[in-house]
């Protein structure tokens, strides 16, 4: 871009910047004005460059608070699932107590903690909420996904109507995207099943040929699918319309012990929950390693065998801190 300009700011060719700005170079009187604009843009660009590059490395989690109890003072027991909505709804899978807990979290104020017990659900290990406020939970014992109304009443099972052979599927995890489509990590048939909001089959993407074990999946804001291979410590991705997965990262073993959960934020960054290492590994949209946050321990702000993590649009992070029998809330600082 710069080679179009000489040292005096005179136009010696059609600049990409003017093309981008939609301006035609005025060779008679506007040349110095355009030159000045370009200079300003360049200076701003140069000034912003280090800030931008620094920002990529300074994503961190700031501890806000921990949640230990339901509204009646009953303690959580090894919670593994967690989901949040943009409306401030926070659902916790209180796995050890075979129940869900429903909180509202707005302006850093946590309310309620109402117990939801559904006869059809035990051992909730993964949770999601769709845009209608419906709650989805993966039952770790029966390995089935159940669908509930926003008030927690049972609607039905997500059985994947119209799934191509083999019809058997074993969900290890699942995610719901912005369009309410349901993405299921089917480890039995080594594929990701994509169902419409009603649970009818839309398409499937097969796992790559070489992999260790996929423990979780995520869908980013662009509809790209991400898988975490907990054995190889690698993330695989498939773009929205792709029919296969390819590695997004090399082995992250140097930064990651054993990751069993991943999630993405609205900026496209990926967060890997390191279960055995008690930490969160952050990746850029292109899979670049950006850093590791938190560490193992019992004190507030530390994690002990964490399970699922959820992020909302405000950058509020909720982590099911299983080993510490609590949920921890953090803020994402960029």
Partner 1 sequence: MKINVKTLFLLSVVISFLIVSLAYAQQSKFKLKPDAGGKLCLSCHDNFKEKLKNQFVHTPVKSGECSECHNPHAASHGKLLDEDANKICSKCHERIVPKSPKSVHQVVMEGNCVKCHDPHASNNKSVLLKAGNELCFECHKNMGNAIAKAKFKHNPVEKGCTSCHDPHASDKAKNLLKNDLVALCISCHKPDRPNFVKQHMDYPVVKADCSSCHDSHGSNKAGILYDNVHQPVANKVCTQCHEPPSSSATFKTKRSGFELCRGCHSKMMNETFSKNRVHWPIVDKVGCLNCHEPHASKGKNLLLGDTKSLCGKCHPDTMEHQVKLAEKEKQEKAATKGRPIKGALTHHPIQEGECSACHLPHASDSTYLMNKPSFIESCGACHDWSKHTTHPMGAKVADSRNKNITMDCMSCHRSHGTGYRYLIPFPNVTDLCVQCHKQYKR
Where does this chain bind partner 1 (CB under 8 A)? 68-69, 75-78, 96, 122-123, 140-141, 143, 166, 168, 170, 172, 187-190, 212-213, 215, 231, 233, 253, 257-258, 276-277, 296-299, 305, 322, 324-326
The token pair at 76 is 């959580």
CA gap 147, 195 in Å, rounded: 13
The contacts of residue 22 (CB under 8 Å, 6+ apart) are: none
Nearest to 192 by CA among 211, 218, 212, 222: 218
Minimum distance from residue 36 beta carbon to partner 1 (Å):
57
Minimum distance from residue 204 beta carbon to partner 1 (Å):
14
The half-sphere exposure of 163 on its side-chain side, counting CA atoms within 13 A, is 23
Nearer to partner 1 (CB atom), residue 20 or residue 213: 213
Nearer to partner 1 (CB atom), residue 129 or residue 163: 163
Nearer to partner 1 (CB atom), residue 120 or residue 123: 123
Nearest to 125 by CA among 96, 85, 90: 96
Nearer to partner 1 (CB atom), residue 77 or residue 203: 77
Nearer to partner 1 (CB atom), residue 152 or residue 171: 171
Q: Which helix (H) or strand (E) holds 92?
A: strand 89-94
CA gap 168, 45 in Å, rounded: 54
Nearer to partner 1 (CB atom), residue 274 or residue 316: 274
Minimum distance from residue 254 beta carbon to partner 1 (Å):
11
Strand order across the beta sheet in which 279-283 lies: 259-264, 270-274, 279-283, 289-293
Minimum distance from residue 155 beta carbon to partner 1 (Å):
24
Nearest to 211 by CA among 226, 230, 224: 230
Minimum distance from residue 68 beta carbon to partner 1 (Å):
5
Minimum distance from residue 58 beta carbon to partner 1 (Å):
27
């Amino acid at each position: 871009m710069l080679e179009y300009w000489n040292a005096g700011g005179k136009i010696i060719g059609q600049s990409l910047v003017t093309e981008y700005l939609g301006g035609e170079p005025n060779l008679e009187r506007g040349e110095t004005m355009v030159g000045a604009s370009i200079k300003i843009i360049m200076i701003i660009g140069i000034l912003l460059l280090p800030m931008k590059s620094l920002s990529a490395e300074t994503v961190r989690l700031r501890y806000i608070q921990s949640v230990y109890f339901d509204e009646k003072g009953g303690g959580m027991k090894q919670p593994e699932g967690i989901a949040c909505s943009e409306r401030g709804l926070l659902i916790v899978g209180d796995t050890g107590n075979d129940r869900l807990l429903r909180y509202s979290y707005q302006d850093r104020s946590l309310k309620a903690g109402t117990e939801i017990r559904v006869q059809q659900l035990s051992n909730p290990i993964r949770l999601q909420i769709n845009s209608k406020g419906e709650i989805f939970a993966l039952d770790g014992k029966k390995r089935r996904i159940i669908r509930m109304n926003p008030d927690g009443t049972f609607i039905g099972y997500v059985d994947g109507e119209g799934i191509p052979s083999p019809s058997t599927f074993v969900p290890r995890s699942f995610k719901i995207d912005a369009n309410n489509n349901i993405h299921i990590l089917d480890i039995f048939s080594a594929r990701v099943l994509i169902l419409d909001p009603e649970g009818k089959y839309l398409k499937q993407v097969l796992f790559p040929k070489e992999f260790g074990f996929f423990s979780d999946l995520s869908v980013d804001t662009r509809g790209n699918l991400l898988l975490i291979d907990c054995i190889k410590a690698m993330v695989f991705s498939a773009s929205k319309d792709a029919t296969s997965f390819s590695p997004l990262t090399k082995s992250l073993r140097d930064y990651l012990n054993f990751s069993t959960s991943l999630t993405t934020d609205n900026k496209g960054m990926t967060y890997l929950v390191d279960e055995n290492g008690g930490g969160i590994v952050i990746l850029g949209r292109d899979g670049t390693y950006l850093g590791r946050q938190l560490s193992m321990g019992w004190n507030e702000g530390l994690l002990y065998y964490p399970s699922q993590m959820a992020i909302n649009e405000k950058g509020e992070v909720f982590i099911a801190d299983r080993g510490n029998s609590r949920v921890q809330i953090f803020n994402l600082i960029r």
